[in-house]
Amino acid sequence: MLIFDELKKNDPQLRLVAMVLAAGLCILLAGLWWVQVVSAHEYQSHLETQAYRTVRLPAIRGKILDREGRVLAENRPRYNLSLYLDDLHDEFQKEYNRLRPVKIATNSPPFWKLWLGSVLVKTNYAPMSKSEVAALTLQARYNVANNLVAQMSRTLQQPLVLDPKNFEHTYANSPYAPYSILSDMSGDQIARFEENFSVGSGVNLDLQPARVYPFGTTAAHLLGYLQRYDESIEGEDAVFNYRLPDYRGLVGIEGGFDAQLHGHAGTESMLINSRGYRQSENIIDPPQSGDNVVLTIDLDIQRAAENAIAAHQGADARAAAIVMDVHTGDVLAMVSSPAINPIYVSNNPAYLNDPKLQPQINRATYGNYAPGSIFKPIVGLAALENGLDPNEIYHVQSDPAEPWHGYIKVGTRTIKDTVPPGDYDFRRAIQQSSNSYFIFNGLRTGIEKIARLAEKFHFGERTGLPTRQESRGIFPTLNQVEDSSSWHAGDSANIFFGQGEMAVTPMQMAVAYSAIANGGKVLKPRLVERIEPQDPTSGEAATDFPSGVVRDEIGVSERSLKILYDAMLSETEDPKGSGYAAFHQAGSVLNIRVCGKTGTAQVENERGQKTGWNYWFASFAPFENPRYAVVVMVQSDVTIGSGGSVCAPIAHDIYEEILKKENAVAAKIVARN
Amino acid sequence: MVNPSINERGPKLDALQLVALALLMFIGAMFVYSATMANAPASLPWYDQSWVRQIIWYAIGLGAGTALCIVDYHILARWSFVAYWATIFFLVIVLVPHIGMTHGWGARRWIDLGPFQFQPSEFAKLSFILAAANFLSRPPDELKQAGIFWKGIGLMLLPFALILKEPDMGSALVLIPTGLVMMFVAGTPKKYLLTLVVGVGILGALVLADILFAPPALRIKMQDYQRQRLLVYFGANFADANATPEQKAEARRLQAKSSYQGKQSLISVGAGGFFGAGWRNGKQTSLQFMPPGAAHNDFIFSVIAEEEGFVGSVVVLTLYAVVLFTGLRIAGQARDRLGKLVAVGVVTLLFSHVFINIGMNIRIVPVTGIPLPLLSYGGSSVLCSLIALGLMQNVHIHRRGY
């Protein structure tokens, strides 16, 4: 090579110099190779760590709709006012320069500058120590931000304060992130802001979705509620420098279908400079909106049921109501009273934790209650299937202590009957709700047969709701009842009138009455009809949940069911029936025949003291071809009547709404044709 | 191989070296642009933009270099001691407050000349080369005298001490290899040189040991930042083992601050990878992780390395290799020992700058403020580099003719 000639020249000194030079250049080359080729990855990741910040962008949460597409939960835009610290940087500097102490000094320019006309007096910044500079910088920053906040406070006519500590902390840690000073502005405030501030003034609106429930407390227990939760969920990036607020559902539909509603959070990559200010943003993984959940609930029936409870028992009533389609298992309404605000934080904590009201409990699915007499139809079915002649008369004995009451002796124990003594056949026993009749015939049929039938109804098991708020209820197993050492006739007698070692949820009763009404199919209740993409044009397929999923068959003959239907119909149609009054009030034009059963269960604490009553009305209609099951339960500490007087009127109102809807649909069909 | 007959036709420049120089200047202008324009305010008039100024300095430097080519270096050498003492004078007065400017760095390196400032240390390197070449070009026999040897050492140590006093350790240090190599090439007896090298080595080791390990009372007086840079380079822990937590935190903060620039330049160079991010796409500069005052200056190489990658680094190294080895060829072909010594001096000076500057970008040497010839922004550096190269061409042009 031309330039390396010297290495060959016969000049030992120059040759040595050339060799040293070549060696030096080789060292640099090797060093560069090491840094730029071998370790390039390491330094590139260094660069990324110091120059990039990732921001978690929550997805837009899916809506919750009723079966007719009416919105029960959605998002509304919420405007927050934030300081953008990077836009304020110049202001910080200006304020700093303004605050800096100055001193007037005499200039001593070089002589040629004096000839050129330099002035002798100039202002100099007074020297400051490092800590003074730091304190002044901090002061300048706070002044600028605080002035801006004060200015906004005047414009928006709302007192706003800037906490110096919090402000400095944010500045030191994430100056690229918006610093929120006012959240959820009113429309009026937004308008005033837009009039007075422009982009780049260091303060701006940022938009975040807020969950909103247009019908307030309607179906609140079913919908569930959200909790602030910014953490990454499974399948997302785990590490972010900054997270925008996000929420997750805890219970109810919001909780049970959180995975679908929540969507997939995205990632924004933010390039920042050495001061930590934003330079550019780039969404590297856009958030994917959550799906909508379409419920089987009918908003009209739901609200009618809620209003009926409130109208008859007051807003603070501890009650539950369920309306179910007996063929599909669709839950058309599910009410738990007293209601809560689905925006959980808006509830008064004292109210939420009220030990008596317990508003957080979804009574429709999570409360365990003694069913009382509404369990008698199940006992009756078992007896009819095992040879009970419905026309056979059972004579209820008169209680010697209270002769106007009947009673029955089981072993050495005396069990009071609410009905007067006399002759009872199956129909009259259901209609009047005779304990003695069902204890006598239950014992005759045998507890095992009744337990076996109850097993088919799946008492003592969850119905399989996705809402994370379901209890299994209590029911003795076959093994328990067959163990004669621990199970006695008295225990069986209690079961036969729906007391003792058993408890149900209103949902279990709705499923059971639906099974009786539909000819024996125990269905899985369906709360969610389908899950569909939020954007219908996205092309993603909706997931439909099958209706009418049969969990079990009770295996009861048509004849027994018809006998039971007939007896239950008399409860509302025979003037002596306990539900008659509710369904025959003045002005009632209910054009539907309802098979019902009333119940009143005494609640005892562990020491056997009476602590309250559970009132029930369980029913299905229409009698000719049942389509709806309606179960109403009301709790009370004091006796306020009977299932017929407390719950049946609520059920009546619910049926009224159901009929109104049916007529409207029929009218529509007629109109269309 | 070069055919000597081509060169017999009279004065001619070394074309290969000139091509390499032209390319280096082109790269210099490009990357001063890249390093300064990313964050320059839009209102900055074109004549105030650094890359325009750099080009102006190239033009001035080329003019000065050309002027120096015209006059035979023998004539220049006669004036070398005048130049030498003139620069010594400037090195003294730059230390006087109000004449020497600090630029807020705590080091007095600049003299304000109205429209611009100049750095006497840069010119001192040049006048030292000329004076040393003149001094050492005496007959080799005379170099065997101890008196001559010590005078040569004195010639080197005077500007060294003054520049160190500014302080500008980098500029001072490059005088040592330059002087030593010139003495070696001039034919100074080996025993003197060995003594000198060993002496310098021992002294250096002692200074280093003092900086790294000595208790504060016994430390050599030097600027804090210089000590910190050395501590950083040798990976020493700033905090004393028995310091209070506050002191430790303070030491850690100081350590982070002192190591910041070196760390950032290493990230720049490394992040460039093989092909680089592309011209003007370097993140380290645009995001100001590389301090804006340094990127186009002493750390211009990190900008080139980040934006052009290993490929760019190799191109730059190759261009310097061309300049250096053509310089050595000029030295080999020089008419006399004076010419040879001037060329060798210039080559060694350039090499020292290149090695220390690129070396500090990749943490081979500690961070010292020393410019990369022709690439770093700065009038004095550009001017002196071009004048030095002009001197070398002068030697080439006048290699024959008497």
State the first-to-last Cα distance of chain B, in angstroms, to the nearest integer. Answer: 25
Q: Do A40 and B273 touch (CB under 8 A)?
A: yes
B225's enclosing H/E stretch is helix B224-233
The predicted structure's pLDDT at residue B4: 42
Higher pLDDT, B181 or B241: B181
Among chain A residues, the shortest Cα distance to B284 is held by A47
Instruction: Give the range among A621-635, B53-67, B140-154 with minimum mean pLDDT.
Output: B140-154
Residue B380 to residues B131, B299, B386, Cα–Cα distance (Å): 20, 16, 10
Going by their DSSP bridges, the two strands B100-101 and A628-636 should be labelled as: unpaired
The predicted structure's pLDDT at residue B204: 86
Indicate the pLDDT class of residue B2, thresholds 50, 70 and 90: very low
A120 reaches B (C-beta below 8 A): no
CB-based contact B30:B352 (threshold 8 Å): no
Q: Do B364 and A21 touch (CB under 8 A)?
A: no
Tell me how many helices (H) and strands (E) chain B has: 16, 3
A601's enclosing H/E stretch is strand A595-604
- Which of the residues B313, B315, B318, B353 would you substitute to probe the A interface, choosing the one with the greatest number of A C-beta atoms within 10 Å? B313
The predicted structure's pLDDT at residue A532: 92
Average per-residue pLDDT for chain A? 87
The predicted structure's pLDDT at residue A114: 61
Q: Which positions in chain A touch B345 (Cβ < 8 Å)?
A: none
Distance CA A40, CA B269 (A): 8
Indicate the pLDDT class of residue A106, thresholds 50, 70 and 90: low
pLDDT digits (tens, 9 = 90+) for A43-52: 888 888 777 8
- Burial code (b: 16+ CB inside 10 Å, e: under 16) for A441-475 equals bbbebebebbbebbbbbbbbeebebbbbbbbbbeb
Q: Do B309 and A36 touch (CB under 8 A)?
A: yes
Indicate the pLDDT class of residue A22, thresholds 50, 70 and 90: very high
pLDDT digits (tens, 9 = 90+) for A565-614: 999 999 999 988 888 888 888 777 788 899 999 999 988 877 778 888 99
The predicted structure's pLDDT at residue A72: 94
Backbone angles phi, psi at A282, to 5 degrees: -150, 120
3-state secondary structure A224-271: CCEEECCCCCCCCCCCCCEECCCEEECCHHHHHCHHHHHCECEEEEEE
Q: Do B359 and A28 touch (CB under 8 A)?
A: yes
Q: Do B347 and A5 touch (CB under 8 A)?
A: no
Q: Do B269 and A6 touch (CB under 8 A)?
A: no
Q: Tokens 């979804």, residue?
A: A362
Indicate the pLDDT class of residue B386, thresholds 50, 70 and 90: very high
Higher pLDDT, A465 or A84: A465
Q: Is the pLDDT of residue B148 over 60?
A: yes
Q: Which positions in chain A touch B1 (Cβ < 8 Å)?
A: 2, 5
Q: Who among A17, A31, A40 is closest to B364 (CB)?
A: A31
A200 reaches B (C-beta below 8 A): no
Q: Do B325 and A18 touch (CB under 8 A)?
A: yes
Q: Do A3 and B16 touch (CB under 8 A)?
A: yes
Distance CA A650, CA A297 (A): 18
- Which of the residues A1, A32, A113 would you substitute to probe the B interface, choosing the one with the greatest number of B C-beta atoms within 10 Å? A32
Q: How many CB atoms lie within 10 A of CB B91?
A: 23
Q: Is the pLDDT of residue B291 over 90?
A: no
Q: Who among A14, A28, A34 is closest to B328 (CB)?
A: A14
Q: Who among B184, B289, B351 is closest to A51 (CB)?
A: B289
- For the four alpha carbons of B339, B344, B350 and B353, in that order, the dihedral sign comes to negative
B133's enclosing H/E stretch is helix B120-136
Higher pLDDT, A223 or B2: A223
Q: Who among B283, B305, B325 is closest to A4 (CB)?
A: B325
Q: How many residues does chain A have?
A: 673
Average pLDDT of span A362-382? 93
Going by their DSSP bridges, the two strands A528-532 and A292-295 should be labelled as: antiparallel
Q: Who among A17, A39, A43 is closest to B185 (CB)?
A: A17
Q: Who among B1, B112, B362 is closest to A31 (CB)?
A: B362
Q: Look up residue A387 and give its amino acid.
A: G
| Structure tokens belonging to residue A595 | 């098979």
Chain-centroid distance, C-alpha A433: 39
**Residue A149 Cα, gap to closest chain B Cα (Å):** 29
DSSP lists the bridge partners of residue A591 as: none
A272 reaches B (C-beta below 8 A): yes
State the first-to-last Cα distance of chain A, in angstroms, to the nearest integer. Answer: 100
The predicted structure's pLDDT at residue A200: 64
Q: Do B332 and A6 touch (CB under 8 A)?
A: yes
Going by their DSSP bridges, the two strands A64-65 and A292-295 should be labelled as: parallel
The predicted structure's pLDDT at residue A4: 56
Distance CA A372, CA A376 (A): 8
Can you point out the beta strands (E) in A49-178? 52-57, 64-65, 71-83, 102-106, 121-125
The predicted structure's pLDDT at residue A84: 83
Among chain A residues, the shortest Cα distance to B330 is held by A6
Distance CA A616, CA A570 (A): 17
| Structure tokens belonging to residue A538 | 């996205």
A486 reaches B (C-beta below 8 A): no
Q: Is the pLDDT of residue A286 over 90?
A: no
Q: Which positions in chain B touch A29 (Cβ < 8 Å)?
A: 314, 317
The predicted structure's pLDDT at residue A160: 86
**Residue B236 Cα, gap to closest chain A Cα (Å):** 22
The predicted structure's pLDDT at residue A5: 55
Indicate the pLDDT class of residue B114, thresholds 50, 70 and 90: low
Q: Who among B270, B286, B325 is closest to A35 (CB)?
A: B270
Among chain A residues, the shortest Cα distance to B190 is held by A13
Q: Is the pLDDT of residue B5 over 50?
A: no
Q: Do B283 and A18 touch (CB under 8 A)?
A: no
pLDDT digits (tens, 9 = 90+) for A520-546: 999 999 999 999 998 888 778 888 999
Higher pLDDT, A431 or B220: A431
The predicted structure's pLDDT at residue B379: 84
Q: ω into residue A109 within 30 of 0, thus cis? A: no
Higher pLDDT, A651 or A276: A651
A28 reaches B (C-beta below 8 A): yes
Q: Tokens 């034919």, residue?
A: B187
The predicted structure's pLDDT at residue A1: 45
CB-based contact A363:A320 (threshold 8 Å): yes
Instruction: Give the range among A362-371, A516-525, B99-108, B365-374 with minimum mean pLDDT.
Output: B99-108
Q: Is the pLDDT of residue B402 over 50?
A: no
Contacts of A75 (CB under 8 A, 6+ apart): A60, A61, A63, A209, A210, A211, A212
Q: How many CB pairs under 8 A join A and B?
A: 139
**Interface list for A 30-89 with B (CB within 8 A):** 31-37, 39-40, 42-44, 46-47, 50-51
- Which of the residues A35, A43, A112, A115 would you substitute to probe the B interface, choosing the one with the greatest number of B C-beta atoms within 10 Å? A35
Edge-to-edge, what's the strand order for the sheet holding A394-398? A413-416, A406-410, A394-398, A422-424
| Structure tokens belonging to residue A349 | 């904590």
**Residue A33 Cα, gap to closest chain B Cα (Å):** 7
pTM of the model: 0.71
The predicted structure's pLDDT at residue A187: 83
Q: Do A21 and B274 touch (CB under 8 A)?
A: no
Q: Who among B98, B287, B289 is closest to A108 (CB)?
A: B98
Instruction: Give the range among A160-174, A301-315, A498-512, B304-318 with minimum mean pLDDT.
Output: A160-174
- DSSP assignment of B33-66: HHHHHTT--TT--GGGSHHHHHHHHHHHHHHHHH
Instruction: Give the range among A60-64, A216-220, A420-424, B140-144 with minimum mean pLDDT.
Output: B140-144
Backbone angles phi, psi at B383, to 5 degrees: -60, -50
Q: Is the pLDDT of residue A650 over 60?
A: yes
Q: Do A17 and B321 touch (CB under 8 A)?
A: no
**Residue A196 Cα, gap to closest chain B Cα (Å):** 28
Q: Do B332 and A14 touch (CB under 8 A)?
A: yes
Among chain B residues, the shortest Cα distance to A12 is held by B185
Q: Which positions in chain A touch B270 (Cβ < 8 Å)?
A: 35-36, 39-40, 42-44, 46
Q: Is the pLDDT of residue A2 over 70?
A: no
DSSP state of A369: B
A127 reaches B (C-beta below 8 A): no
Distance CA B33, CA A156 (A): 47
